[in-house]
Amino acid sequence: MIIDEKFSLKIGLAEMLKGGVIMDVTNPEQAKIAEDAGAVAVMALERIPADIRSDGGVARMSNPTMIREIMAVVSIPVMAKCRIGHFAEAQVLQALGVDFIDESEVLTPADDINHIWKHDFTVPFVCGCRDIGEALRRISEGAAMIRTKGEAGSGNIVEAVRHMRMVQSGIRQIQTMDHAELVRYGKEIGASLEIILEVRRLGKLPVPNFSAGGIATPADAALMRQLGAETNFVGSGIFKSQDPAARARAIVLATTHFDDPDMVAKASEGLKEAMPGLEMNRIPEAEQLNRRGW
Protein backbone atom coordinates (compact mmCIF):
# COMPACT_ATOMS: atom_id res chain seq x y z
CA MET A 1 0.00 0.00 0.00
CA ILE A 2 1.50 3.31 -1.07
CA ILE A 3 1.23 6.16 1.38
CA ASP A 4 2.27 9.36 -0.38
CA GLU A 5 3.19 12.66 1.26
CA LYS A 6 -0.37 14.01 1.16
CA PHE A 7 -1.86 10.88 2.74
CA SER A 8 0.85 10.70 5.41
CA LEU A 9 0.07 14.28 6.51
CA LYS A 10 -3.58 13.29 6.92
CA ILE A 11 -2.72 10.20 8.93
CA GLY A 12 -0.29 12.36 10.92
CA LEU A 13 -3.09 14.48 12.36
CA ALA A 14 -5.02 11.31 13.25
CA GLU A 15 -1.89 10.15 15.14
CA MET A 16 -1.93 13.36 17.19
CA LEU A 17 -5.50 12.67 18.31
CA LYS A 18 -4.68 9.24 19.73
CA GLY A 19 -5.46 8.48 23.34
CA GLY A 20 -7.97 11.30 23.50
CA VAL A 21 -11.66 12.10 23.34
CA ILE A 22 -13.42 13.81 20.43
CA MET A 23 -16.70 15.41 21.50
CA ASP A 24 -19.84 16.36 19.56
CA VAL A 25 -20.80 20.00 20.11
CA THR A 26 -23.62 22.10 18.69
CA ASN A 27 -22.56 25.64 19.64
CA PRO A 28 -19.51 27.67 20.76
CA GLU A 29 -20.41 27.34 24.48
CA GLN A 30 -20.39 23.55 24.26
CA ALA A 31 -17.16 23.66 22.24
CA LYS A 32 -15.52 25.66 25.05
CA ILE A 33 -16.79 23.19 27.67
CA ALA A 34 -15.32 20.34 25.62
CA GLU A 35 -11.96 22.05 25.18
CA ASP A 36 -11.81 22.98 28.87
CA ALA A 37 -12.52 19.36 29.78
CA GLY A 38 -9.49 18.20 27.78
CA ALA A 39 -11.07 17.08 24.47
CA VAL A 40 -8.50 16.58 21.69
CA ALA A 41 -10.98 17.78 19.05
CA VAL A 42 -14.61 18.73 18.65
CA MET A 43 -17.16 17.61 16.07
CA ALA A 44 -19.29 20.61 15.09
CA LEU A 45 -22.84 19.64 14.20
CA GLU A 46 -26.26 21.29 14.37
CA ARG A 47 -28.02 18.45 16.14
CA ILE A 48 -26.42 15.68 18.14
CA PRO A 49 -27.34 12.16 17.00
CA ALA A 50 -29.93 11.60 19.77
CA ASP A 51 -31.85 14.64 18.52
CA ILE A 52 -31.44 13.71 14.84
CA ARG A 53 -33.00 10.39 15.78
CA SER A 54 -35.98 11.90 17.62
CA ASP A 55 -36.54 14.75 15.11
CA GLY A 56 -36.53 12.52 12.02
CA GLY A 57 -36.38 13.97 8.48
CA VAL A 58 -33.29 14.43 6.31
CA ALA A 59 -30.11 15.30 8.23
CA ARG A 60 -27.58 17.35 6.24
CA MET A 61 -24.22 19.08 6.66
CA SER A 62 -24.35 21.78 9.35
CA ASN A 63 -24.69 25.46 8.61
CA PRO A 64 -21.25 26.95 7.76
CA THR A 65 -21.88 29.93 10.06
CA MET A 66 -22.24 27.65 13.04
CA ILE A 67 -19.09 25.70 12.08
CA ARG A 68 -17.12 28.94 11.71
CA GLU A 69 -18.31 30.20 15.11
CA ILE A 70 -17.02 27.03 16.73
CA MET A 71 -13.70 27.22 14.83
CA ALA A 72 -13.30 30.75 16.17
CA VAL A 73 -13.54 29.86 19.88
CA VAL A 74 -11.36 26.75 20.24
CA SER A 75 -7.70 26.05 19.43
CA ILE A 76 -8.12 22.27 19.17
CA PRO A 77 -8.97 20.72 15.78
CA VAL A 78 -12.56 21.10 14.57
CA MET A 79 -14.26 18.31 12.65
CA ALA A 80 -17.56 18.41 10.75
CA LYS A 81 -19.80 15.83 9.10
CA CYS A 82 -20.88 15.49 5.49
CA ARG A 83 -23.40 13.00 4.09
CA ILE A 84 -22.11 9.70 2.70
CA GLY A 85 -21.23 10.29 -0.97
CA HIS A 86 -21.91 14.05 -0.82
CA PHE A 87 -18.56 15.29 -2.11
CA ALA A 88 -19.91 18.82 -2.67
CA GLU A 89 -20.66 19.14 1.06
CA ALA A 90 -17.13 17.88 1.67
CA GLN A 91 -15.76 20.53 -0.69
CA VAL A 92 -17.60 23.20 1.30
CA LEU A 93 -16.21 21.88 4.58
CA GLN A 94 -12.69 21.87 3.15
CA ALA A 95 -13.19 25.45 1.93
CA LEU A 96 -14.25 26.43 5.46
CA GLY A 97 -10.94 25.03 6.73
CA VAL A 98 -12.24 22.32 9.05
CA ASP A 99 -9.43 20.02 10.20
CA PHE A 100 -11.17 16.66 9.61
CA ILE A 101 -14.31 15.59 7.75
CA ASP A 102 -16.48 12.75 8.99
CA GLU A 103 -18.29 11.10 6.07
CA SER A 104 -20.99 10.00 8.42
CA GLU A 105 -23.89 7.59 8.54
CA VAL A 106 -25.43 9.85 11.20
CA LEU A 107 -26.50 12.16 8.36
CA THR A 108 -28.88 10.93 5.66
CA PRO A 109 -26.81 9.37 2.85
CA ALA A 110 -26.67 11.36 -0.40
CA ASP A 111 -25.45 8.39 -2.43
CA ASP A 112 -26.62 4.91 -1.52
CA ILE A 113 -24.07 3.20 -3.78
CA ASN A 114 -20.80 5.14 -3.59
CA HIS A 115 -18.73 6.74 -0.88
CA ILE A 116 -16.58 9.82 -1.54
CA TRP A 117 -13.19 9.36 -3.27
CA LYS A 118 -11.33 10.96 -0.41
CA HIS A 119 -7.87 11.02 -2.02
CA ASP A 120 -9.08 14.04 -4.03
CA PHE A 121 -9.11 16.18 -0.89
CA THR A 122 -6.38 17.94 1.12
CA VAL A 123 -8.38 17.67 4.34
CA PRO A 124 -8.33 14.26 6.05
CA PHE A 125 -11.46 12.10 6.38
CA VAL A 126 -12.72 9.71 9.03
CA CYS A 127 -15.27 7.03 8.13
CA GLY A 128 -17.33 4.56 10.13
CA CYS A 129 -17.19 0.80 9.76
CA ARG A 130 -18.83 -2.34 11.14
CA ASP A 131 -16.16 -4.85 10.20
CA ILE A 132 -12.70 -5.24 8.68
CA GLY A 133 -13.93 -5.26 5.07
CA GLU A 134 -15.76 -1.96 5.45
CA ALA A 135 -12.73 -0.44 7.22
CA LEU A 136 -10.37 -1.47 4.40
CA ARG A 137 -12.73 -0.25 1.66
CA ARG A 138 -12.86 3.18 3.30
CA ILE A 139 -9.07 3.32 3.72
CA SER A 140 -8.65 2.42 0.02
CA GLU A 141 -10.89 5.40 -0.82
CA GLY A 142 -8.61 7.62 1.26
CA ALA A 143 -9.94 7.62 4.83
CA ALA A 144 -7.06 8.63 7.17
CA MET A 145 -8.87 7.42 10.27
CA ILE A 146 -11.40 4.66 10.87
CA ARG A 147 -13.99 4.55 13.63
CA THR A 148 -16.60 2.02 14.56
CA LYS A 149 -20.11 3.07 13.61
CA GLY A 150 -21.67 1.84 16.82
CA GLU A 151 -25.21 3.11 17.06
CA ALA A 152 -25.07 6.88 17.34
CA GLY A 153 -27.49 8.58 19.70
CA SER A 154 -28.48 5.31 21.36
CA GLY A 155 -26.46 5.61 24.58
CA ASN A 156 -25.97 1.87 24.08
CA ILE A 157 -22.43 0.55 23.65
CA VAL A 158 -23.39 -2.86 22.22
CA GLU A 159 -22.99 -1.99 18.52
CA ALA A 160 -19.63 -0.24 19.02
CA VAL A 161 -18.37 -3.33 20.86
CA ARG A 162 -19.64 -5.59 18.08
CA HIS A 163 -17.97 -3.48 15.38
CA MET A 164 -14.65 -3.17 17.21
CA ARG A 165 -14.58 -6.92 17.85
CA MET A 166 -15.39 -7.58 14.18
CA VAL A 167 -12.48 -5.37 13.06
CA GLN A 168 -10.04 -6.91 15.53
CA SER A 169 -11.02 -10.48 14.73
CA GLY A 170 -10.67 -9.68 11.01
CA ILE A 171 -7.12 -8.46 11.67
CA ARG A 172 -6.32 -11.65 13.60
CA GLN A 173 -7.77 -13.84 10.84
CA ILE A 174 -5.67 -12.06 8.21
CA GLN A 175 -2.55 -12.83 10.22
CA THR A 176 -3.22 -16.55 10.26
CA MET A 177 -3.92 -16.99 6.53
CA ASP A 178 -1.51 -17.86 3.72
CA HIS A 179 -1.47 -15.97 0.42
CA ALA A 180 -3.94 -18.26 -1.34
CA GLU A 181 -6.42 -17.84 1.50
CA LEU A 182 -5.88 -14.09 1.61
CA VAL A 183 -6.90 -13.75 -2.05
CA ARG A 184 -10.14 -15.57 -1.28
CA TYR A 185 -10.66 -13.60 1.95
CA GLY A 186 -10.17 -10.35 0.04
CA LYS A 187 -12.92 -11.33 -2.35
CA GLU A 188 -15.17 -12.27 0.54
CA ILE A 189 -14.75 -9.00 2.42
CA GLY A 190 -14.48 -6.75 -0.66
CA ALA A 191 -10.95 -5.49 -0.02
CA SER A 192 -7.85 -5.50 -2.22
CA LEU A 193 -5.04 -8.01 -1.66
CA GLU A 194 -2.59 -5.11 -1.47
CA ILE A 195 -4.22 -3.54 1.59
CA ILE A 196 -4.83 -6.92 3.22
CA LEU A 197 -1.11 -7.70 2.96
CA GLU A 198 -0.38 -4.37 4.60
CA VAL A 199 -2.69 -5.27 7.52
CA ARG A 200 -0.92 -8.61 7.82
CA ARG A 201 2.48 -6.90 7.91
CA LEU A 202 1.41 -4.33 10.53
CA GLY A 203 -0.90 -6.48 12.65
CA LYS A 204 -3.27 -3.52 12.74
CA LEU A 205 -5.09 -1.14 10.41
CA PRO A 206 -2.77 1.10 8.34
CA VAL A 207 -4.51 4.17 9.83
CA PRO A 208 -5.61 4.95 13.41
CA ASN A 209 -8.60 2.95 14.62
CA PHE A 210 -11.04 4.89 16.81
CA SER A 211 -14.37 4.13 18.41
CA ALA A 212 -17.74 5.90 18.12
CA GLY A 213 -21.42 5.35 18.67
CA GLY A 214 -22.82 4.67 22.10
CA ILE A 215 -20.25 5.78 24.70
CA ALA A 216 -22.09 7.27 27.69
CA THR A 217 -19.91 6.57 30.74
CA PRO A 218 -16.21 6.55 31.74
CA ALA A 219 -16.38 2.73 31.90
CA ASP A 220 -17.71 2.64 28.31
CA ALA A 221 -14.67 4.70 27.28
CA ALA A 222 -12.29 2.33 29.12
CA LEU A 223 -14.02 -0.69 27.55
CA MET A 224 -13.56 0.58 24.00
CA ARG A 225 -9.90 1.47 24.62
CA GLN A 226 -9.24 -2.02 26.00
CA LEU A 227 -10.91 -3.57 22.96
CA GLY A 228 -8.42 -1.72 20.77
CA ALA A 229 -9.86 1.75 20.11
CA GLU A 230 -7.04 4.29 20.05
CA THR A 231 -9.35 7.24 20.75
CA ASN A 232 -13.03 7.67 21.63
CA PHE A 233 -15.63 9.80 19.91
CA VAL A 234 -18.41 10.77 22.31
CA GLY A 235 -21.55 12.18 20.74
CA SER A 236 -24.78 12.50 22.62
CA GLY A 237 -23.25 10.93 25.74
CA ILE A 238 -21.91 14.22 27.08
CA PHE A 239 -24.44 16.92 26.30
CA LYS A 240 -27.45 14.63 26.83
CA SER A 241 -26.24 13.83 30.35
CA GLN A 242 -27.14 15.91 33.39
CA ASP A 243 -23.63 17.21 34.03
CA PRO A 244 -21.82 17.68 30.69
CA ALA A 245 -18.64 19.36 31.99
CA ALA A 246 -17.99 16.86 34.79
CA ARG A 247 -18.86 13.91 32.57
CA ALA A 248 -16.61 15.20 29.79
CA ARG A 249 -13.67 15.48 32.23
CA ALA A 250 -14.39 12.02 33.62
CA ILE A 251 -14.48 10.40 30.16
CA VAL A 252 -11.18 12.11 29.23
CA LEU A 253 -9.54 10.74 32.37
CA ALA A 254 -10.95 7.23 31.84
CA THR A 255 -9.72 7.26 28.24
CA THR A 256 -6.14 8.06 29.32
CA HIS A 257 -6.15 5.60 32.24
CA PHE A 258 -8.30 2.98 30.49
CA ASP A 259 -6.24 0.10 31.93
CA ASP A 260 -6.36 1.32 35.54
CA PRO A 261 -9.73 0.39 37.14
CA ASP A 262 -8.99 2.50 40.24
CA MET A 263 -8.68 5.60 38.08
CA VAL A 264 -11.81 4.75 36.08
CA ALA A 265 -13.67 4.25 39.37
CA LYS A 266 -12.39 7.58 40.68
CA ALA A 267 -13.41 9.31 37.45
CA SER A 268 -16.92 7.82 37.65
CA GLU A 269 -17.62 8.86 41.23
CA GLY A 270 -20.15 11.61 41.89
CA LEU A 271 -21.42 11.91 38.34
CA LYS A 272 -25.11 12.67 37.83
CA GLU A 273 -27.40 10.70 35.49
CA ALA A 274 -25.98 9.51 32.18
CA MET A 275 -28.01 10.02 29.02
CA PRO A 276 -31.03 7.74 28.76
CA GLY A 277 -30.24 4.71 26.58
CA LEU A 278 -32.15 2.76 23.97
CA GLU A 279 -32.38 -1.03 23.66
CA MET A 280 -31.34 -2.00 20.13
CA ASN A 281 -34.49 -4.08 19.65
CA ARG A 282 -36.54 -0.93 20.29
CA ILE A 283 -34.94 0.75 17.27
CA PRO A 284 -36.60 -0.44 14.06
CA GLU A 285 -34.06 -1.74 11.54
CA ALA A 286 -34.87 1.02 9.07
CA GLU A 287 -33.95 3.59 11.73
CA GLN A 288 -30.62 2.03 12.69
CA LEU A 289 -27.95 4.46 11.55
CA ASN A 290 -25.18 1.83 11.48
CA ARG A 291 -26.87 0.10 8.53
CA ARG A 292 -26.21 3.08 6.27
CA GLY A 293 -23.22 2.85 3.90
CA TRP A 294 -21.58 -0.45 2.92
Quote the least distance from Cβ 204 to other proteins, whole Å. Answer: 11
Q: Which is catalytic among the residues 10, 81, 149, 240?
A: 81
250: CB partners within 8 A, 6+ apart: 218, 267, 268, 271
Task: Give ∠ CA 188-191-194 in degrees, rounded to 5.
Answer: 125
**Among 25, 33, 41, 45, which residue sits at the site for other proteins (rule: CB under 8 A)?**
41
Instruction: Verify binding: residue 51, other proteins, rule CB under 8 A.
Output: no
> Can you tell me the distance from the alpha carbon of 24 to that of 43, in angstroms, rounded to the nearest whole number?
5
Instruction: Verify binding: residue 13, other proteins, rule CB under 8 A.
Output: yes
**Among 25, 45, 50, 76, which residue sits at the site for other proteins (rule: CB under 8 A)?**
76
Provide the 3-class DSSP secondary structure of residue 101: strand
Instruction: Verify binding: residue 29, other proteins, rule CB under 8 A.
Output: no
Contact 186, 194 (CB under 8 A): no
**Among 36, 194, 273, 287, which residue sits at the site for other proteins (rule: CB under 8 A)?**
36
Contact 264, 254 (CB under 8 A): yes
**Catalytic residue at 204?**
no
> Can you tell me the distance from the alpha carbon of 67 to that of 100, in angstroms, rounded to the nearest whole number?
12
Instruction: Verify binding: residue 234, other proteins, rule CB under 8 A.
Output: no
Quote the least distance from Cβ 231 to other proteins, whole Å. Answer: 9
Q: Number of residues in contact with other proteins, rule: CB under 8 A? A: 35
Quote the least distance from Cβ 26 to other proteins, whole Å. Answer: 20
DSSP H or E run through 80: strand 78-83
**Among 39, 129, 166, 221, which residue sits at the site for other proteins (rule: CB under 8 A)?**
39
Cβ count near 174 (within 10 Å): 23
In this complex, which beta carbon is closest to other proteins, that of residue 256 or of residue 288?
256
> Can you tell me the distance from the alpha carbon of 85 to that of 103, in angstroms, rounded to the nearest whole number?
8
> Can you tell me the distance from the alpha carbon of 10 to that of 207, in angstroms, rounded to the nearest whole number?
10
**Among 7, 20, 67, 239, which residue sits at the site for other proteins (rule: CB under 8 A)?**
20
- In the complex, the residues that contact other proteins under the rule CB under 8 A are 5, 8-9, 12-13, 15-20, 35-41, 75-77, 94, 97-100, 122-124, 249, 252-253, 256-257, 260
